[in-house]
Amino acid sequence: MSALRLRITMPALAVCLGLAACGSGQSILQAGNEPPPPTTAAPSTLPGQTTVPTLPPTTLPRPIDSLPGCDVEALDIAAAGGPVEIVFWHGLSNELKRELERITDEYNSSQDRVRVRLEAQGTYEDNIDKYLQSNTDNRPDLVQLPEYAVQLMIDTESSVPVQACMEDAGYAAAELLPAALTAYASESVQWAMPFNVSNPVLYYNRKVFRDAGLDDDKPPLTLAEVSAYGQQIQQTGAASYGISLDSAPDGGGGWFLEQWLAKEGELYSDNDNGRSAPSTRVLFDGPTSVALLTELQQVVTTGGGVYVGENPGGQDHLLKLADATTPAAMTISTSAALGPVLKFVEGGIIPGIGVEDIGIGPMPSPNGAPGALIGGASLWITAGHGDAKAAAAWEFITHLVSAAVQSQWAAATGYVPVNSGALALDPLQSVYADDPRFRVAYDQVAQAPDDPTFAGPVIGPLREVRVTAAAAVGKILSGGDPATALADAAALATDLIASYNATRPSN
C-alpha cells in the first residue's frame, strides 16, 4: 500500500470507527426493509384498547386434517419385522439426563416394538438451533423443546401434532393436567405433549424469618407482604435484605413477567396470547404492567429488596441467600432448582442453615392470586419420517407421561408430574407426603384457572421478546421509569414480531 493510499484509507476508517458518523439510529431489525413498515411506528400506547392488528386473525380453528396425520397401527405392522428405532433429541443434563436415560433403558428392555436412541444435544437452545438448521432427514423422530418454542415449532410445519395421534389412538387424556396440555395447544390444536413441567416458586430462609419475628410457615403471597416482610427483616437485623430479584430473560425479567401478567388476569400479547391466531404485538406496556413493575420497583427501593442484575449464570439471585456479609432472606426461582438448592445447602454453603431451614412458598404476585404458567419442555413428533416412526414416537410419549413413569420422574427430578395419577403412586406419593416443599409447584399448576391468560403467550420470537422485556425489568429495578422502559421494550418486541411474521410460511 502506498503512503498516499494509506493516508486516504486511515482517516476514512478512523471516521467510521468513530461510529457516530455512520449510525442511522435505526434498529437492525429494519435492515433490508425498504421503508420502515408504518404499522410498527405507532405501537401500543394504549394496549388495553385493541387497535387494528397488523395481521388479521387466520381462520379458526386450524383444521387437524390440514396437518400431518398419525396412524398408530403402522407400528403394529412395522414392529412385526423387528423393533422400530427412533431417535430422541433432548436438552437435559446431569441428574435429569441420567434419570431420562434410566427410564429409557427400562422402556427399551421392557418391550420389543420400539427402540429409543437418546441423543443429548446440550441445552434447549442447542436443541432449537440444531432442529431449525437440519433438514427433515437429519431431524430426530422425537424432540424435546421448551415452552417458549411453541409458535416457532408450529411455523416450521415439520411436526405431527400429538392431537392427531391422540385421536387416532382414542387416547384418554383425562389424567393429564389440563393446564399443562393447554400450554402446548393453540388454534384449537394440541401440538405437543408436556413432559417436564416447572414454575417459579418462592425460596426463603426460615431461620431469618424466625429471627425477624415472622411466622416461618406463612411466606408472603402479595408484593405488599414481600415489602412488609423485607422491612421487618431489615429493621430487626435478621438479614441485610428481604427478597433478591433478578432480571434474566428466562427468570425474573422475562419469564416472571409472563407469570405475573397471567396472575393479574392480563394478556401478554394480542389474539388471546397468540392462542386463537398468531400474535402481532405485545401488550405488556399497559397500565396493569406499569402498576405491577412500579410495585416491584418499590420492593427494591423501600421494601428491603435487592436487585442482583441480569443473572447470566442463573444463580446470582439464589447465591444472594448464601452471601456471608449482606445476605437476602428470599428469592423467586424455578421449582426445578429445588433439588440442586437443597443439595448445596446440605453441603454447608450457608453456615448454620440446614436443608430444613429452606422454605418454599407460592410465587408472590401483586394480588396474591394462586396459579402459575407452565414452564419446562414438551415432546414434539417429527413429520416426514414415515407413519411407523411417528407411531413409535407416540407410543414412547404415552409411556413417558404414564402415571407410573411420571411418579418416578417427578420424584427423582422435582419436576411437576403432568399426570395426576402419579400423585397416588410411589415414589412420588411418599416424596410429597414427606416433603411438602416439592408439592408447591404442583399445586400452582393445579390451581391455574382455565383462561387464555393462564395459557401463557405463544409468540414466534418469544425468546427474543423475553430479552426485550427483561431489559425493561432490569432498567426498572435499577431505578428507571416503568412506563418508559415498558413502552420502549414493547415497541421493540412488536418490531420483532412484525419482522418474524414477514417471513412466516403462510405469508
Nearer to another protein, 20 or 52 (CB): 20
361 binds another protein (CB under 8 A): no
User: Where are the strands (E) in 43-141, listed by range?
Assistant: 84-90, 114-120
Task: Give the integer Cα–Cα distance in Å for 315 and 313.
Answer: 5
Q: How far is the CB of 330 from another protein (least distance, A)?
A: 14
Nearer to another protein, 151 or 335 (CB): 151
Interface of this chain with another protein, residues 81 to 140, rule: CB under 8 A: 125, 132-133
Q: How far is the CB of 478 from another protein (least distance, A)?
A: 8
User: Residue from 173, 349, 404, 446 that binds another protein (CB under 8 A)?
Assistant: 349
Which H helix or E strand runs over 59?
none
User: Residue from 383, 416, 496, 498 that binds another protein (CB under 8 A)?
Assistant: 496
187 binds another protein (CB under 8 A): no
Nearer to another protein, 425 or 469 (CB): 469
| DSSP type of residue 331 | E
Q: How far is the CB of 265 from another protein (least distance, A)?
A: 29
Q: Counting beta carbons within 10 angstroms of the beta carbon of residue 452, is it exposed (0 to 12), middle (13 to 18) or buried (19 or more)?
A: middle
Q: How far is the CB of 132 from another protein (least distance, A)?
A: 5
Task: Give the integer Cα–Cα distance in Å for 41 and 38.
Answer: 5
214 binds another protein (CB under 8 A): no
Nearer to another protein, 10 or 46 (CB): 10
Can you give the C-alpha Rg of the chain in angstroms? 25
Q: How far is the CB of 41 from another protein (least distance, A)?
A: 16
Q: How far is the CB of 3 from another protein (least distance, A)?
A: 9
277: number of Cβ within 10 Å: 20
Task: Give the integer Cα–Cα distance in Å for 385 and 349.
Answer: 49
For 218, the grid coordinates are 406463612
Segment near another protein (CB under 8 A); pick from 74-82, 202-210, 311-319, 381-389: 311-319
Q: How far is the CB of 30 from another protein (least distance, A)?
A: 7
Q: Which residues contact 87 (CB under 8 A, 6 or more apart)?
A: 117, 119, 140, 141, 142
Nearer to another protein, 132 or 433 (CB): 132
For 88, the grid coordinates are 430422541
Residue that is written with C-alpha cell 437429519 in the block: 138
Write the secondary structure of 169-238 as one string of H (helix), E (strand) and C (coil): HCCCCCCECHHHHHHCEECCEECCEEEEEECEEEEEEHHHHHHCCCCCCCCCCEHHHHHHHHHHHHHHCC
Q: Counting beta carbons within 10 angstroms of the beta carbon of residue 444, is it exposed (0 to 12), middle (13 to 18) or buried (19 or more)?
A: buried
DSSP-based three-state secondary structure for 47: coil
50 binds another protein (CB under 8 A): no
User: Residue from 118, 179, 189, 322 that binds another protein (CB under 8 A)?
Assistant: 322
Interface of this chain with another protein, residues 278 to 307, rule: CB under 8 A: 306-307
264: number of Cβ within 10 Å: 17
170 binds another protein (CB under 8 A): no
Interface of this chain with another protein, residues 408 to 467, rule: CB under 8 A: 460-461, 463-464, 467
152 binds another protein (CB under 8 A): yes
313 binds another protein (CB under 8 A): yes
Nearest to 195 by CA among 398, 389, 333: 398
Q: How far is the CB of 8 from another protein (least distance, A)?
A: 12
Nearer to another protein, 416 or 471 (CB): 471
Q: How far is CA 17 from CA 1, 21, 23, 363, in A?
A: 20, 9, 11, 47
Nearest to 330 by CA among 244, 257, 248: 244
1 binds another protein (CB under 8 A): yes
223 binds another protein (CB under 8 A): no
Q: How far is the CB of 274 from another protein (least distance, A)?
A: 16
Nearest to 248 by CA among 205, 307, 335, 336: 307
Nearer to another protein, 33 or 294 (CB): 33
Q: How far is the CB of 122 from another protein (least distance, A)?
A: 12
Nearer to another protein, 49 or 325 (CB): 325
6 binds another protein (CB under 8 A): yes
Axis-axis angle for helices 387-400, 403-413 (nearest 10):
60
Nearest to 83 by CA among 44, 43, 110: 110
Segment near another protein (CB under 8 A); pick from 168-176, 292-300, 361-369, 494-502: 494-502
326 binds another protein (CB under 8 A): yes
Nearer to another protein, 131 or 396 (CB): 131
User: Residue from 249, 252, 359, 482 that binds another protein (CB under 8 A)?
Assistant: 249
**Chain contacts with another protein (rule: CB under 8 A):** 1, 6, 9-10, 13, 17, 19, 22-33, 125, 132-133, 152, 155-156, 158, 249, 306-310, 312-313, 315-316, 319-320, 322-327, 349, 460-461, 463-464, 467-468, 471, 474-475, 492, 496, 499-500, 502-505, 507
